[in-house]
Amino acid sequence: MNHAANGAAPAGPVLAIESSCDETACAILAPDGTILAQRVVSQDGHADFGGVVPEIAARAHLALLPGLVAATLNDAGLEASALALVAASTGPGLIGGLIVGSGFAKGLALALDIPFIAVNHVEAHALTARLPGLVPGGAPFPHLLVLVSGGHCQCIAVEGVGRYRKLGGTIDDAAGEAFDKVAKMLGLGWPGGPMLEKLAREGNPSAIALPRPLLRRAGCDFSFSGLKTAIAQKLAPYGQTPLPRQFAADLAASFQQAVADVMADRINHALDMMPQAGLLVAAGGVAANTLLRTTLETTAAQRGLRFAAPPLRLCTDNAVMVAWAALETWAEASRQHKTPFTDTAMRPRPRWPLEEMAERIAAIKTAA
């Protein structure tokens, strides 16, 4: 096998694939983390169903990936033979998409006779802020990660590559899921988060009283199911009657404010549980919401902490974060004298807890 150089960085670029949900993405990073090319295709075909249909997503990944990878290589001005590593999201996520993406990446790695690195999708979000030049002053360990997306809502102590502690998470709907469901109740279509935020700009966030689930409770778990139910109750009197525009806007704004208030409270509790944190990092698609991002930034400032969030294009699922996580994993394995290695035997996993990542790195064996 033509291994990458034994050291903190591979001998050439890494190509990564992200296919854990309904975004089909490819990116190429230089060994130092410089982004050479990136592409993301947001799939069609899900809106009519009000959410992601796993079978449709998997088939779309299969159709899109060959052309997407070729186009990304062309954008970077590279031949596939120049690559030193290939990586892919291998879990957690929708199993069909993970099988397609990781299978494509493994096949490419085998054809090129270079290593394949399996990347934990959540870990990729956790490490995104460490991309060189992304955060002024860098994002050293330890820091607190708030991951808010359609499938995840977690507070995670990021103590090093492969070393994470989940401080709290959702006990029902994730924040992004709640946004999408409330948007659907308001007749806004899917994906609902951006549409709800746009409507909320026309409304008064104090107009309608809504609950703040788990506010001031111990710990930093989240619950949005009760808030979603409260929205349904406010809508019930209207039945099938079209909602007055101002009422819909006020309800959207009040819902968004309630989520922001809950997030601030939960994060303050998480910071109490992690006093050594010097940085608060937000990641995930919901971190693109302007009010939530401002709320997190204010919360960090009140605690005397720096706040960092990736650019909006790197908040949602993307392959840049997957490529960077692969480089970080390679470097960490190198520090433990376990490079070169390959993950071609690793199977896709719909669930892959972050707490297992330390064991994963410890179990890495140097390839022959």
Quickly list DSSP for 38-91.
EEEEEPSS-GGGTS--HHHHHHHHHHHHHHHHHHHHHHHT--GGG-SEEEEEEE
Q: Which two tokens stand for residue 350?
A: 């719909």
Neighbours of 96 (CB within 10 A): 19
Binding site for substrate, residues?
A: 147-151, 180, 193, 197, 289
Nearest 5 degrees, angle CA 53-CA 56-CA 57?
Answer: 80
Which of 101, 82, 122 has the alpha carbon at shortest distance from 16? 101
DSSP states of 190-214 as a string? SSHHHHHHHHHTTS-TTSS----TT
Which residues touch 109 (CB under 8 Å, ≥6 apart)? 85, 86, 115, 116, 342, 344
Place of tokens 């469901």: 181
Rg, Å, the chain Cα set? 21
Q: Which amino acids are annotated as binding site for Fe cation, given as ranges? A: 121, 125, 317
Token pair 């896709």 is found at 348
> Where is the binding site, in residues?
121, 125, 147-151, 180, 193, 197, 289, 317
Question: Could you give phi then psi for residue 306, rounded to 5 degrees?
Answer: -75, 150
Distances in Å between the Cα of 220 and the Cα atoms of 29, 254, 262, 347 are 35, 22, 10, 32
φ, ψ (nearest 5 deg) of residue 364 = -60, 135
Dihedral sign for Cα atoms in the order 311, 317, 319, 321: positive
CA separation for the pair 271, 212 (Å, rounded):
19
Q: Sort strands 116-120 and 163-169 into parallel, antiparallel or unpaired.
A: unpaired
